[in-house]
Amino acid sequence: SRGGAFLAAWILHNNKENPLYSHYDYLLEMAKKYGFTLSLGDGLRPGCIADATDRPQIQELITLGELVDRARAKDVQAMVEGPGHVPYNQIAANMQIQKTLCRGAPFYVLGPLVTDIAPGYDHITGAIGGTLAAVSGADFLCYVTPAEHLSLPTIEDVRAGTIASKIAAHAADLAKGNKRAWEMDLKMAEARRKLDWNAQAECALDPEMARERRKKRMSSDDEVCSMCGPLCAIKLVNEYLKK
């Protein structure tokens, strides 16, 4: 991580222990006094897929678990930051390891990205990983923008990244049987059955995008969309069911 790089450089330059670690008890005093939650970052988290779940990552996670214990002993809340680059088949194991070593402390993941070869589309690689992470026990998803690894994000990048993370979180909620999430999808299904385009937009995670796309590519028959036009499966079935 960038913060980890800063600290590593400081440690090597000064030949001293990480000051945040050596003065952790003082940080706990401040957290207790002012009532804030500590976010324990993983400076050795994998920066690429090849580094995922390596020894330094797990060794640091053991230390983070110890810091969680020390925080709880002082009645201070703490959450743990997780990896950002993890192949799909290792995500569930990473969640289980963290929950075990950190005694169920809330886990916050940076994606995770499931491949390193999609610059410009890392909001998608992050959403893929984020869905499985959330299903497997992650408590908080950090959004990733299309500009990740390339540049500072624009407002549009931030919006795209936020929507992608919301999709990932919602998909995970569905997989976990969340009642509200299922109700949202059922409302969309009913709106589509009725070909109610206003209701469909209102049910969408991004109503603005749904309305804009439909407006730009309207069918000559405004009851259907331009994908199937007069051969709309829903319209055909509805017409025959009415007979």
Question: Secondary structure of 82-146 in the HEC alphabet?
Answer: CCCECCHHHHHHHHHHHHHHCCCCCEEECCCECCCCCCCCHHHHHHHHHHHHHHCCCCEECCCCC
Sheet with 140-141: strands ordered across? 38-40, 78-81, 107-109, 140-141
The pLDDT of residue 157 is 98
The pLDDT of residue 179 is 98
**Residues paired with 107 in a beta bridge:** 80
The CA distance from 111 to 170, in Å, is 14
The CA distance from 185 to 174, in Å, is 9
Residue 39 DSSP code: E
Output b/e per residue, 175-211; b: 16+ Cβ within 10 A.
eeeeeebeebeeebeebeeebebeebbebeebeeebb
Residue 52 DSSP code: T
The pLDDT of residue 3 is 84
Which pLDDT tens digits describe the chain residue by residue (243 residues)? 788 889 999 999 999 999 999 999 999 999 999 999 999 999 999 999 999 999 999 999 999 999 999 999 999 999 999 999 999 999 999 999 999 999 999 999 999 999 999 999 999 999 999 999 999 999 999 999 999 999 999 999 999 999 999 999 999 999 999 999 999 999 999 999 999 999 999 999 999 999 999 888 887 777 888 888 888 888 888 888 876
Q: Are 82 and 108 in contact (CB under 8 A)?
A: yes
Given phi > 0 = left and psi -120 to 50 = alpha, else beta, which region is 182? Answer: alpha
The CA distance from 46 to 157, in Å, is 24
The pLDDT of residue 243 is 65
The pLDDT of residue 78 is 98
The CA distance from 218 to 188, in Å, is 20
The pLDDT of residue 232 is 87
Instruction: Identify which of 105, 111, 106, 75 has the alpha carbon closest to the alpha carbon of residue 91.
Output: 111
| All domains of the chain in start order, with CATH | 2-177 (3.20.20.540), 182-242 (no CATH)
Q: What is the pTM of this model?
A: 0.91
Other beta carbons within 10 Å of 214: 16
